[in-house]
């Protein structure tokens, strides 16, 4: 005779459980809106700017190449920095080489500093959008095409784009 109550409670528990897994995309959306801790979208953005290129200002974008602890690949930025107008497209080339004797898969994670500028940073094409598989000893030049939203606050004149390569070969094998 408590059938209705049991049904309600079990759906509530199931809902709570699923909410736990919905947290990850929710967190990304939350970071996306607030630009919290430099979390930039890992997905191609098709943002078109109304104001077009803003000739009056120049912004210097620096590039940093890092590796997570157990990632032995050689990974460095070809061009240290690029100076461009907000709205214009900028490009950065990175050199990556798999120095080990086995095929590996890497995933690049991007982060921007200062974190307030993350909201205005849009990547139209980036090697961090998909996983990079490299055979033993293989080397590649990989790049990112990006642009900066013209309505970025005035006082931000220098941004740093940091890529960190993670070794996800085992994580993929495990799944």
- Cα-trace Rg, the chain: 21
Measured between alpha carbons, how far is 121 from 119 in angstroms, rounded to an integer? 6
What's the rounded Cα separation, in Å, for the pair 74 and 90? Answer: 24
The residues in 74-113 that bind another protein, with binding defined as CB under 8 A, are: 74, 76, 80-81, 95, 97, 99-101, 107, 109, 111-113
Minimal distance in Å, beta carbon 50 to another protein?
A: 22
Could you tell me the smallest distance in angstroms from the CB atom of residue 115 to another protein? 6
Cβ-based nearer residue to another protein, 52 or 137: 137
Going by C-alpha positions, the residue among 139, 132, 130, 124 that lies closest to residue 49 is: 124
Tokens of 157: 């004149």
- Contact letters for another protein, residues 40-79 (x by CB under 8 A): --x-------------------x-x-xxxxxxx-x-x---
Q: Which two tokens stand for residue 61?
A: 């974008």
Residues 68, 69, 71, 73, CA torsion sign: positive
Select from 1-9, 19-27, 45-53, 86-94 the region that touches another protein (CB under 8 A): 19-27
Q: Which position among 8, 34, 125, 138 is part of the footprint of another protein (CB under 8 A)?
A: 34
Q: How far is the CB of 48 from another protein (least distance, A)?
A: 26
Contact between 85 and 53 (Cβ < 8 Å): yes
Separation between Cα atoms, residue 20 and residue 31, nearest integer Å: 17
Contact call for residue 155 and another protein (CB under 8 A): yes
109: helix, strand or coil:
strand
- Chain residues in the site for another protein (CB under 8 A): 16, 20, 23-24, 27-28, 31, 34-39, 42, 62, 64, 66-72, 74, 76, 80-81, 95, 97, 99-101, 107, 109, 111-116, 139, 155-158, 160, 162, 164, 166-171, 174-175
């Amino acid at each position: 005779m408590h059938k209705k109550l049991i049904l309600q409670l079990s759906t509530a528990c199931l809902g709570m459980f699923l909410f736990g897994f919905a947290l990850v995309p929710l967190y990304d959306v939350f970071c996306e809106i607030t630009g919290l801790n430099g979390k930039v979208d890992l997905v191609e953005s098709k943002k078109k700017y109304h104001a077009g290129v803003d000739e009056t200002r120049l912004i210097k974008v620096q590039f940093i190449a890092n590796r997570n602890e157990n990632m032995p690949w050689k990974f460095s930025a070809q061009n240290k920095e690029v100076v461009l107008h907000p709205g214009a497209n900028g490009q950065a080339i990175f050199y990556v080489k798999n120095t080990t004797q086995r095929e590996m898969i890497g995933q690049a994670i991007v982060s921007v500093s200062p974190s307030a500028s993350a909201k205005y940073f849009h990547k139209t094409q980036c090697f961090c959008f998909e996983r990079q598989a490299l055979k033993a000893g293989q080397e590649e030049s990989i790049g990112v095409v990006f642009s900066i939203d013209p309505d970025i606050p005035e006082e931000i004149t220098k941004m740093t784009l940091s890529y960190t390569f993670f070794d996800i070969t085992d994580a993929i094998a495990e799944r």
